[in-house]
Structure 1
Amino acid sequence: MTDILELSTRQLIAAFNSRALSPVEYMSALISRIEASEPKVRALWLFRPEQALEDARASEDRYLQNAPKGRLDGVPVTVKELIATKGDHVPQGTAAITPFAASEDAPTAARLREDGAIIYAKTTCPDYGMLSSGLSSFHQLSRNPWDLTQNPGGSSAGSGAAGAAGYGRLHVGTDIGGSIRIPAGWTGLFGLKPSFGRVPIDPYYTGRVAGPMTPTVDDAAILMQTITRPDWRDATSLKHENIDWDAGPVELRGMKIGLMMEGGCGNPVHPEIADAVQNAARMFEENGATVVPVAPVLTREMLDGLGMAWAARVWSMISKLEPGARDRILPYIRDWAATGAETSGPEVAAGFEQVFTMRRTANEALHGLDAIISPVNPDRSFPAELPSPTNDPRRNFEHIAFTVPWNMGEQPAASAHCGMTSTGIPIGLQIVGPRFEDLAVLRIARTWEEMRGPVTDWPRFDRP
């Protein structure tokens, strides 16, 4: 174990169980890496190294007694700031909210603690989680470790930055229109947006899910074993299934996979991204799959309608704040949400109806297919200081055409690293499966990882 921080989650757990490595040794090394890296990356909030070491010592004692608390005992993990942890403020990325202490852990945090995982920090997100950016009026500006001038994506911005910078293996983000896959794509991680309801979440909302952001599919599979366990608080959750998340790669021969190269609206796909995704499609074909072109799912009417409904929803929250508090919101978000005040009730209702139109078209697109592959992000990246690729609050969602339909359709969708741009930013390949076929998506992604080979050049700031 020449570099313990590069162990996979499975290797780490085995080392803890065999006592070849202690949770205290690992946590101490991780804290050193974070302290060397965080002044540049700025992915974390509520980083508590002293508490983390105390938790690691308690875990070490349990291993010495051959009584680990659960499958993740002693394993460090981060959760996105929007996921409540007992006793901590949940600012939702904005300086406008009066501080308060959460009364209990949200479902994902609760399941992690039950299994002995050490939640050593939370990760940053933009105001109200409504940007694909690391820009926030509350948090420090998170940056992409591959190029610190560039954005990590969002809204799980800190999760993507932390995962790429090597802050442990396990990170949990949330996703309502691409907020796991978009940063995973730009930071080279594997990110899974599960089927809606697969991972219990609270508060819940149409299309909102929690899921893993990890260096490999296997890390995510281990995390899914924990965070999918049931929680009564989520009235939208699926009935719990005992899924074999450890199932290996899938045989591609005989599979029919759709290739979607156009988003239907929004920003055009950059040629370098198109080349990387088409190369992935050729690799699927060479390994036995039948790859067929498929039309885009989204239309301008769908995207604008949903954006209108979202803006009205966020404005309804902002309008309840005192004027002074509203002034503390990121101006870009405030200006975008204010467009919701300009719409009538019938217009908002019609906009929200586009959710069900997307659901129908997403379902139709997958009919007769085992999966669809596409780009995750049409853009190569954008500067860290900007709120979105367009920097225009009236064109806030031009980059989510490939991701948002699967939130509204409730299908599982993942981002997997499939190449690098000439500017040095990872490219994400999206893998989408039929509703409830989360394991199939994981297995296809495992197969892709085998075809692609391991990622070995992760950015590190604790080395010469």
Structure 2
Amino acid sequence: MHRDAVSTAEGYADGTLTPPEVVAEIQAVIDEREPELNALWVRDDVGGTLEQARASARRWEERRPLSPLDGVTVTLKENVARAGVPMSMGCAGVEPVVPQTDSPVARRCREAGLVVLGSTVMPDWGMLSSGVSSRHGITRSPLNPAWTTGGSSSGAGAAAAGGYGPLHVGTDIGGSIRLPGTWLGLATLKPSAGRIPLHAPYLGRAAGPMARTARDCALLMGVLAGPDPVDWTSLPAQEVAWDDLDLEVEGLRVALWTEAGYGVEPEPEIVATVEDAALRLERAGARVERIGPWLTQDQLDGVDRFWQARSWADYARLAPEQQARVLPYIVEWVSRARDLSGTEVMDAYHAFAQVQSRTTASWAAAGDPDVLLSPVAPGVAFPAEQPMPYPEDGRGLWHINFAMPWNMTGQPAGTADAGRTADGRPIGVQVVGRPFDDLGTLRVMHALAAS
């Protein structure tokens, strides 16, 4: 039985559920499924999690819970720092770093009384959209172990879809929360840049919730969102009614984007699913306007080239024996940056600004819509052993064409589970909100799931 966070928290509040029984149920699921799924890098001591659950139960009995989520379980991606817990970055070539302090995300989970079950796996340096890792091996989809989880929040996605509790935190720099979302049938949110504070802010990077429902994502946002001095990019404090997901569809202005214009164009079945989602909103009173491409292959190639250079710097610092342990696909990818000049690296970096300016201009030209719907990725889940959906001919990142622009503008972007292929593979719809409108994004995600 996969309990959601909302009903679990309500059960704790009214006494129909207790944290120890729920945590024990989830631990039993992990015992059964983890040998096949391979979602966890560090599994926290089971006895320790049960003791935390008992302490939560006492707080609920005494009517002094630390938060509405006291006693609800969560997992954290391994690059979300936890004091004393090694961070390997999914790469066998690096010596894991052991943080001395919690990241803001980990600290807020602890202060809210959530029970952390463990740290979830990721592929090498987070630079693959799959569950393939030189350190962890292959992480597999709970829906079908032959399918990929997506990545780089591969373990978080597998844990969410596999019943390892209702709440999970991933990170996203070009689609790493949303790609597992679409390929595993999840609700996920890459929040606005700065909405959830990071311990290591970086252009485009965000941490966000991964769950089975938009309502659960919203509940976790209530714990994680808000400024923190650790993150100099964090947004100012804002009162957000995260529990209010009611949406007035009448008059909602929706942009529909199904032709990327660069990278790989989406498969017809995916386009049809996105168009059907837009049609459902239109029938409920929304105004839907189709928009065309605004980015070109040059911008995506520049982003790719800069990330190659960044990862080449990490790889080049390793000793030869460490380099030999890095995933061969990653070695081949980063090595393309070996001979780049400083001028070429800076030219590649300028691609990020081009993506930002062109995407912002396109949004304005579309009339500043309330929301945009698009595919999350051009294709559906591919074989679990495959590092990327299109690994040949330099097309490694051609599948992030719909996801990556919103990391650069910092706009909130989530996934809503919207359909299945003939062989049962999930198809998600990407829901992009106006700048800083995380709640509006979640409301549309919730409405699509309910319609």
TM-score using structure 2 length: 0.97
Q: Distance in 2 between matches of 1:439 and 1:393?
A: 40
Q: Distance in 2 between matches of 1:346 and 1:434?
A: 34
What is the deviation of 1:393? Answer: 7.7
What is the deviation of 1:450? Answer: 1.9
Contact 1:336 1:393 in 2 (8 A): no
Q: Which residue of 1 aligns with 2:187?
A: 190
What is the deviation of 1:50? Answer: 2.1
* CA-to-aligned-CA distance 1:244-289 (integer Å, 9 cap, x gap): 1112221122122111111221122111111111111111111111
Q: Which residue of 1 aligns with 2:178?
A: 181
What is the deviation of 1:164? Answer: 0.9
Q: Distance in 1 between matches of 2:326 and 2:200?
A: 21
Q: Which residue of 2 aligns with 1:18?
A: 14
Residue 66 in 1 paired to residue 63 in 2? Answer: yes
Question: Superposed, which structure 2 residues align to 1:404-443 within 5 Å?
Answer: 404-443=404-443
**Candidates 152, 161, 175, aligned match of 1:164:** 161
* CA-to-aligned-CA distance 1:319-340 (integer Å, 9 cap, x gap): 1111111111111111111112
SS state of the match for residue 137, structure 2?
Answer: coil
* CA-to-aligned-CA distance 1:173-212 (integer Å, 9 cap, x gap): 0000000001101001011011111110111100000000
What is the deviation of 1:143? Answer: 0.7
Q: Which deviates more, 92-101 or 368-377?
A: 92-101
Equivalent residue letter for 1:17: A
* CA-to-aligned-CA distance 1:185-240 (integer Å, 9 cap, x gap): 10010110111111101111000000001100110010001111322111111112
* CA-to-aligned-CA distance 1:425-464 (integer Å, 9 cap, x gap): 110100111211111111111221221xxxxxxxxxxxxx
What is the deviation of 1:56? Answer: 1.1
Contact 1:196 1:209 in 2 (8 A): yes
Residue 39 in 1 paired to residue 39 in 2? Answer: no
Equivalent residue letter for 1:61: R
**Candidates 49, 73, 76, aligned match of 2:73:** 76
Q: Distance in 1 between matches of 2:277 and 2:194?
A: 30
Q: Distance in 2 between matches of 1:46 and 1:25?
A: 22
* CA-to-aligned-CA distance 1:378-406 (integer Å, 9 cap, x gap): 11221100100122383210110000001
In structure 2, stretches of 5+ residues that fail to align are: none
Q: Which residue of 1 aligns with 2:2?
A: 6
Q: Distance in 1 between matches of 2:393 and 2:124?
A: 13
Q: Distance in 2 between matches of 1:73 and 1:393?
A: 49
TM-score using structure 1 length: 0.94
Contact 1:190 1:213 in 2 (8 A): yes
**Candidates 50, 54, 59, aligned match of 2:51:** 54
Q: Which residue of 2 aligns with 1:454?
A: none
Q: Which residue of 2 aligns with 1:230?
A: 227
RMSD: 1.3
What is the deviation of 1:365? Answer: 2.4
Q: Distance in 1 between matches of 2:339 and 2:287?
A: 48
Contact 2:131 2:139 in 1 (8 A): yes
Contact 1:81 1:124 in 2 (8 A): yes
Contact 2:226 2:234 in 1 (8 A): no
Question: Superposed, which structure 2 residues align to 1:179-218 within 5 Å?
Answer: 179-218=176-215
Contact 1:259 1:281 in 2 (8 A): yes
Contact 1:332 1:393 in 2 (8 A): no
SS state of the match for residue 221, structure 1?
Answer: helix
Contact 2:226 2:236 in 1 (8 A): no
SS state of the match for residue 419, structure 2?
Answer: strand
Equivalent residue letter for 2:89: Q
Runs of 4+ off more than 4 Å: none
Contact 2:122 2:131 in 1 (8 A): yes
**Candidates 344, 349, 365, aligned match of 1:352:** 349
Question: Superposed, which structure 2 residues align to 1:287-298 within 5 Å?
Answer: 287-298=284-295
Q: Distance in 2 between matches of 1:40 and 1:393?
A: 31
Question: Superposed, which structure 2 residues align to 1:86-165 within 5 Å?
Answer: 86-165=83-162
**Candidates 271, 275, 295, aligned match of 1:274:** 271
SS state of the match for residue 77, structure 1?
Answer: strand
Q: Which residue of 2 aligns with 1:462?
A: none
What is the deviation of 1:17? Answer: 2.1
SS state of the match for residue 417, structure 1?
Answer: strand
Q: Distance in 2 between matches of 1:384 and 1:9?
A: 28
Q: Which residue of 1 aligns with 2:331?
A: 334
Q: Which residue of 2 aligns with 1:388?
A: 388
Contact 2:89 2:96 in 1 (8 A): no
Q: Distance in 2 between matches of 1:208 and 1:77?
A: 21
Q: Distance in 2 between matches of 1:387 and 1:393?
A: 14
Q: Which deviates more, 97-106 or 114-123?
A: 97-106
In structure 1, stretches of 5+ residues that fail to align are: 452-464
Contact 1:180 1:193 in 2 (8 A): yes
Q: Which residue of 2 aligns with 1:402?
A: 402
SS state of the match for residue 394, structure 2?
Answer: helix
Q: Distance in 2 between matches of 1:39 and 1:12?
A: 26
Equivalent residue letter for 1:407: N
Q: Distance in 1 between matches of 2:323 and 2:237?
A: 41
Question: Superposed, which structure 2 residues align to 1:367-382 within 5 Å?
Answer: 367=364, 368=367, 369-382=369-382
Contact 2:245 2:439 in 1 (8 A): no
Q: Distance in 2 between matches of 1:191 and 1:277?
A: 16
SS state of the match for residue 242, structure 1?
Answer: coil
Q: Distance in 2 between matches of 1:430 and 1:386?
A: 23
**Candidates 363, 367, 391, aligned match of 2:360:** 363
What is the deviation of 1:422? Answer: 1.4
Q: Distance in 1 between matches of 2:450 and 2:201?
A: 35
